[in-house]
Structure 1
Amino acid sequence: MLAGPTLIQLRAFVAAADAGSFGRAAFLLDMSPSSLSESVQALERQCGQALFRRSSVGLTLTALGERALGHARLSLQHSEDFGLVLTEGRALAGSLKVATYRSLGIHLLPPILALLRQQHPDLQVHLLDGTSGASKERLVQDGQADLAFQELPAQTPLRRLPLLQDDHVVVVAPGQARATLGWRDLSAQPVLVSPSQHACNQRLYEHLHRHLPKETRVQEIEEDEVMVSMVRHGLGVAIMPRLAVLNIDLKVRSLPTPLTRQLGLLLNASRADLPHLQAFIRAVRQYQQTKSFAALQHTLRHGLG
């Protein structure tokens, strides 16, 4: 029977996989590169196979390494969770990793984090931002994030905690002041949207495929700011979540056929009772009782300009 890996070996393996080199991984873990390399080599000797392919440009995972990485992450997470349970009732410290998207990070997270800091000043929250790469849901499932703040999927093995609803809207230049727009109106110029490969855009693309005329020119734009600037210069109309275009100086109109997304939290049900996650959820619930949250809800429902 193989000897079980140590936590040091698992941390070294995961850090090396994330960093792509022993040197960068050692720096992140505050270890010497030789010690970290030896930990990985010891792990490889235990399983009798290589976990990495070494080259002059860095490390890449072997097929076995790819399969093992998720299990290593979860093993580390379970060990950390054990320690968290033992600290229940004490002042919270350590870190909490929250995966999110830009619009949520700007408009929703700051007031929640402010409430959390008031109650637990030593608890550090790390935001995993951006829209490319692995989906936020997958980051939680794989143990890379504790929570995901995102559009809630209809089906998921994770626990869903709804927060608010947000409509997709049409962003048009100031001269296009018609109160309502039809799908034919939208097809008369390029329609700008966030890239289709982003997991959060699947429902939007399905919706547009059903309703936009086939001849419509759809242009994918990575950055929200670029999309808004293109609309401002008359280069098309943009279809974006209302939350992403709050307080801009452009006209916002309803989609001809509405599309609403439910925003909220995703987390592993088995971890829902951990003190750190409970503290974050309490801060969310506290924020939902504030006038600021009520005003945001009203703006998202009635704020078309």
Structure 2
Amino acid sequence: MRADLRQLQALVAIADQGTLGRAADALHCSPSALSMQLSALEARIGQVLTQRTGRGLRLSAEGERLLPAARDTVQAAERFAQLARAAPVDGQPTPAVPVVVGTILDPPAIRLGEFLRAVRERGPQLHPELRHGISGSVLREVQDGRVDLGFFLGEVEGPGWRVQTLAPVRYVVVAPRGWQSRLEGRQWEDLATLPWIDTPRESVHHALLRPVFGGRARATVARVDQEASMLDLVRAGFGLSLAREAVALREAHVGGLAVSREHRLDTTLSLGALDRQDDPARAAALDTLFDAAAAVWRSGP
């Protein structure tokens, strides 16, 4: 019995994505085509590999048992293709391929070092150039063609995007030392009356707070676009802000800042690029970058 590589890719994609639709998007095929590949694999080995749940698909016990071998085979095939693309032609070294990556937050939060190491292992010809920004500005630069792909928080607007979800991210309200009583047991509308440190409209903070407050105006005392500056203003007693939960808890422990985990807002960290790439070399480079990100974030924190 020999399993087709596309069938193994289908199994791995279902395990990683959890639904037929997301798995099909990850493999750039239709859900019906992916379902056919999966059915063909099950028929070939005589085993049921997936089970339907209320929210999508999950692997059966037999699917879980075979998944590591399927993943190893898929990764080996991808590595072979990447090495072949990077091989010298007529004795000449492959020229470096520049790729511009938009980054956000701090390097550990997006596991930047691990990501770039995985990129180098898979595509030694790739030469990353990093441009730091906030989520909205990174996506705008991707759309304008100034950045090839970028990390972002939240959702993209409109069609034409290739998006890979990496990890959930939770934000909580953080406030100056001694403000805990002003946070506990309060509704969001109560917090709107307190002074806030504002952020640009294209920031994830603005996107998360917009549906919470609706059209209600907040009293803002400053506007910043960097998390470090924002936290410094909170320490200085200016007012409230949102912060990633891990950062907020660290600040509470080290600096005594007030934190309200009652007021929490959830989003996701993702990697995004334009889906359509007319240049085959550019498309291959993006495949390598997305594969590197998947390998890093699949390995766990």
> How far apart are residue 239 of structure 1 and its match?
2.0
Q: Does 1:163 align with 2:143?
A: no
Alpha-carbon distance between aligned partners in 2 of 1:208 and 1:219, rounded to the nearest angstrom: 20
The Cα offsets for residues 36-93 of structure 1, whole Å up to 9 and x where unpaired, read as xxxxxxxxxxxxxxxxxxxxxxxxxxxxxxxxxxxxxxxxxxxxxxxxx9x9622573
1:100 deviation in Å?
A: 2.5
What 5-or-longer segments of structure 1 have no aligned partner?
A: 1-84, 293-305
One-letter code of the match for 1:195?
P
Task: Tell me the alpha carbon deviations over residues 249-268 of structure 1, each in whole angstroms, 9 at most, x when there is no partner.
Answer: 33432363x43222212112
Structure 1 position 215, deviation (Å):
6.2
Seen in structure 2, the aligned counterparts of structure 1 residues 217 and 136 have a Cα distance that, compared at 3 Å, is closer
Distance 1:115 1:269, change over 3 A: same
Unaligned runs of 5+ in 2: 1-80, 88-93
Q: How many residues align?
A: 203
Provide the C-alpha distance between the structure 2 equivalents of 1:169 and 1:181, rounded to a whole number of angstroms: 14
Work out whether residues 102 and 138 of structure 2, in 8 Å CA contact, stay in contact via their aligned partners in 1. yes
Cα RMSD (Å): 3.4
Indicate the residue corresponding to 1:194 in structure 2. Answer: 199
The equivalent residue for 2:267 is 261
Question: What is aligned with 2:292?
Answer: 283
Q: How does 1:82-161 map to 2 (within 5 A)?
A: 89-91=85-87, 93-103=96-106, 105-108=107-110, 109-131=112-134, 135-151=137-153, 152-161=155-164
SS where residue 175 of structure 1 aligns? coil
CA distance in 1, matches of 2:276, 2:192: 47
Can you list the C-alpha shifts for 1:233-255, whole angstroms capped at 9, x where unaligned?
Answer: 22211123447657433343236
Q: CA–CA distance in 1 between the matches of 2:186 and 2:139? A: 34
Instruction: Give me the whole-angstrom Cα distance separating, in 1, the residues matched to 2:285 and 2:145.
Output: 15
The worse-fitting range, judged by mean Cα deviation, of 141-150 and 123-132 is 123-132
The equivalent of 2:6 in structure 1 is none
Q: Residue 140 of structure 1 contacts residue 147 of structure 1 at CA under 8 Å; is this kept in 2?
A: yes
- Asked if 2 retains the 8 angstrom alpha-carbon contact of 1:148 and 1:266, the reply is yes
Runs of 4+ with deviation above 4 angstroms? 178-181, 199-202, 243-246
**1:67 corresponds to which residue?**
none
Q: Is the 8 A contact 1:180 1:254 kept in 2?
A: no
Write the distance in 2 (CA, Å) between the matches of 1:215 and 1:145: 34
Please state how far the C-alpha of 1:200 moved relative to its aligned partner.
4.3
Distance 1:209 1:181, change over 3 A: closer
**Amino acid in the other structure paired with 2:129:** H
The alignment partner of 2:86 has SS state of coil
Call closer, same or farther: CA 1:271–1:127 in 2, change over 3 Å. Answer: same
2:195–2:218 CA contact under 8 A, matched in 1: no
Match of 1:3 in 2: none
240-249 or 117-126, which deviates more: 240-249
Identity of paired residues, percent? 23
Q: Tell me the secondary structure at the aligned position of residue 259 of structure 1.
A: strand
Aligned partners of 1:191 and 1:216 also within 8 Å: yes
Structure 1-normalised TM-score?
A: 0.55
